[in-house]
Amino acid sequence: MIRFTGKGVYGAIAAGKISIFKRQDVQVRRVKVENPEEELARLAAAKKAALDQLSEIYQKALKEVGEANAQIFEIHMMMVEDDDYNEAIEEMINGQSVNAEYAVAVTADNFAEMFASMEDSYMQARAADVRDISNRIIACMSGCTDEKTASDEKVIICADDLAPSETVSLDKERVLAFVTAHGSSNSHTAILARNMNIPAIIGLGEAFLREIHDGDMAIADGFTGEFILSPDEETLKACRQKQQAESEKKELLQKLKGKENITLDGTKINIYANIGSADNIGAVLLNDAGGIGLFRSEFLYLENTDYPSEEDQLKVYKRVLESMAARKVIIRTLDIGADKQADYFKLEREENPALGLRAIRLCLSRPEIFRTQLKALYRASVYGNLGIMFPMITSVSELEEILALCEEVKAELKRDHIEYAENVELGIMIETPAAAIISDRLAPMVDFFSVGTNDLTQYTLACDRQNPHIERFCDTHHEAILRLIEISAKNAHKHGAWIGICGELAADTSLTETFLRMGIDELSVSPGFVLKVRDAVRSIDLSKPPTDFFLANKL
């Protein structure tokens, strides 16, 4: 039994087998080899492993999705054994004395290009297949296999780090917990774990990676940040007891379902939920959230390999709006860039990505992408109670440009006799110090503000939210942050706008009283925190002197 300690980023506990996260995009380099025979032997072994995997996947697909859909894996098996393909690879290994991975990658490119240039659409489609089987063979040579995809067992995913795009592409049904050697608690991967109600630990360090093996038993305790490898019986028993106590606590909170978010002296607020996908709606409803305060729409883009079309987006937004019936649904427009990268955007490498072309800056620089999203949003607006929110605002002129684009999109819809709702609320995120400081100018232009404390902390305290080494300087309770929220709340109300908080700080119940006294109207938190925050609200009495240090002394 070995214990590692990191930082728990979502309080829950899981016990189960480990699955080490395998990156599929293995980097292939050209290496000169002494002995091509050895490379040919490696190639033969990898091909055999690839064929075994494909046959297993074929059998599984046959059972689950029927013969017609399973057939593609039969085609893949034939392609692995194709004579022309194999001769080309072998010729390259023998003729140029290069490593097998490189020969497979180059051959894949050549064949894919050849297929893509053919007239016949069936043959064109084979380009993707030849890349797919080649990646599989290369992965087998690099020790990256996906054999565990055949199992339905839930596992603890262990990785050095996970990018948001990798986290979203995991099969959620199979994930018991996320555990990483690196990472920071305000990263989007940590946020996703919270949204998915999955225990997560980050920052376990390099040593942890050296000790783990696929299939090892482990406990991930997201409360304490402890990761216990190969636990003994006694530790497993203690873990089960803790799980039981947790589920009892959760059950107690369930009693708050259907109750109001009201303080002891009668002040009411809204408690909404944050989501990253339409698949989180079940958790939102289960936890009795009053609405959705933040739908991070960029995950829709991250889940795809190309820009989601207007129709694709409409389908998702409609589903979320309809599922929430009359309840408010605030969809945030695309916030891509910085740590959230999708290859097809082809964003240039930046020295300081968090200060670069991200979020609204990207949308205003590529208005065609923004227009498609706005059109899908307005078209979806007839299916529920929609609010649209814009991220990373820093100036009045940006907001003017956005509002003008909204008007143009609505005018286009009207011209084409396409329906949209007139009562769509428009709001901005307050997540830069600039936005908070000029909130008196911004408030008259919108219906609401929502404070993004994750970025507001990053930009106010000059602390990269992705950097685990400076977490102790990223004090989310810093007086500067609280003052900026306070200023924004005052200005919002002065101009008839409402204000919520949708950053992770909204779920920090040690600040709930502070937020209520500032006049915050809405708190939007991960679905699993809704009832915990309701519980906190219901125990506060605003008619009594403040118990909060900041409010008692600073304001």
Using DSSP, state whether 304 is helix, strand or coil. coil
CB of 233 to ligand PEP, least distance (A): 41
DSSP string covering 358-381, please? -THHHHHHSHHHHHHHHHHHHHHG
484 binds, among Mg ion, ligand PEP, none (CB under 5 to 8 A by kind): none
Cβ–Cβ < 8 Å for 296, 335: yes
Q: Which stretch binds ligand PEP (CB under 6 A): 56-64, 342-350, 452-460, 485-493?
A: 452-460
288 binds Mg ion (CB under 5 A): no
8 binds Mg ion (CB under 5 A): no
- CA 330, CA 424: separation in Å to the nearest integer? 10
CB of 504 to ligand PEP, least distance (A): 7
- CA 151, CA 140: separation in Å to the nearest integer? 18
CB of 276 to ligand PEP, least distance (A): 9
Q: Binder to ligand PEP among 183, 199, 203, 452 (CB under 6 A)?
A: 452
Which own/partner contact pairs does 356-362 have at CB distance under 8 Å and 24+ positions apart?
A: 358/392, 359/334, 359/335, 359/391, 359/392, 360/333, 360/390, 360/391, 360/392, 360/393, 360/398, 360/402, 361/337, 361/392, 362/334, 362/336, 362/337
Give me the catalytic one of 76, 140, 158, 188.
188
Q: Binder to Mg ion among 221, 447, 455, 486 (CB under 5 A)?
A: 455
Residue 119, classified by CB atoms within 10 Å of its CB into exposed (0-12), middle (13-18) or buried (19+), is exposed
CB of 332 to Mg ion, least distance (A): 9
502 binds ligand PEP (CB under 6 A): yes
513 binds Mg ion (CB under 5 A): no
Helices (H), 391-478: 396-415, 433-437, 439-442, 453-460
Q: Binder to ligand PEP among 53, 394, 454, 491 (CB under 6 A)?
A: 454
Q: Which stretch binds ligand PEP (CB under 6 A): 65-73, 224-232, 233-241, 446-454?
A: 446-454
The residues with which 528 forms a beta bridge, in sequence order, are: none
Residue partners of 391: CB distance under 8 A and separation at least 6: 332, 333, 335, 359, 360, 429, 431, 452
Q: CB-wise, 80 or 369, nearer to ligand PEP?
A: 369
Question: Is 144 among the catalytic positions?
Answer: no
CB of 276 to Mg ion, least distance (A): 13
Tokens describing residue 31: 């290496």
Rg of the chain (C-alpha set): 26
164 binds Mg ion (CB under 5 A): no
Which own/partner contact pairs does 144-147 have at CB distance under 8 Å and 24+ positions apart?
A: 144/22, 144/23, 144/24, 144/26, 145/22, 145/49, 145/53, 146/22, 146/24, 146/53, 147/53, 147/56
291 binds, among ligand PEP, Mg ion, none (CB under 5 to 8 A by kind): none
Question: Is 188 among the catalytic positions?
Answer: yes
Residue 470, classified by CB atoms within 10 Å of its CB into exposed (0-12), middle (13-18) or buried (19+), is middle
Q: CB-wise, 199 or 452, nearer to Mg ion?
A: 452
528 binds Mg ion (CB under 5 A): no
**Among residue numbers 275 through 314, which ones bind ligand PEP (CB under 6 A)?**
294, 296
Cβ–Cβ < 8 Å for 167, 149: no
CB of 274 to ligand PEP, least distance (A): 7
502 binds, among Mg ion, ligand PEP, none (CB under 5 to 8 A by kind): ligand PEP
Give me the catalytic one of 158, 363, 406, 502.
502
- CA 73, CA 56: separation in Å to the nearest integer? 9
431 binds ligand PEP (CB under 6 A): yes
464 binds Mg ion (CB under 5 A): no
329 binds, among ligand PEP, Mg ion, none (CB under 5 to 8 A by kind): none
- CA 161, CA 97: separation in Å to the nearest integer? 35
CB of 306 to ligand PEP, least distance (A): 22
CB of 497 to ligand PEP, least distance (A): 18
**Among residue numbers 404 through 433, which ones bind Mg ion (CB under 5 A)?**
431
521 binds, among Mg ion, ligand PEP, none (CB under 5 to 8 A by kind): none
288 binds, among ligand PEP, Mg ion, none (CB under 5 to 8 A by kind): none
Size of the site for ligand PEP (CB under 6 A): 11
101 binds ligand PEP (CB under 6 A): no
Amino acid at residue number 274: N
452 binds Mg ion (CB under 5 A): yes
453 binds ligand PEP (CB under 6 A): yes
**Among residue numbers 186 through 205, which ones bind ligand PEP (CB under 6 A)?**
191
- Provide the annotated active-site residues: 188, 502
Binding site for ligand PEP (CB under 6 A): 191, 294, 296, 335, 431, 452-455, 502-503
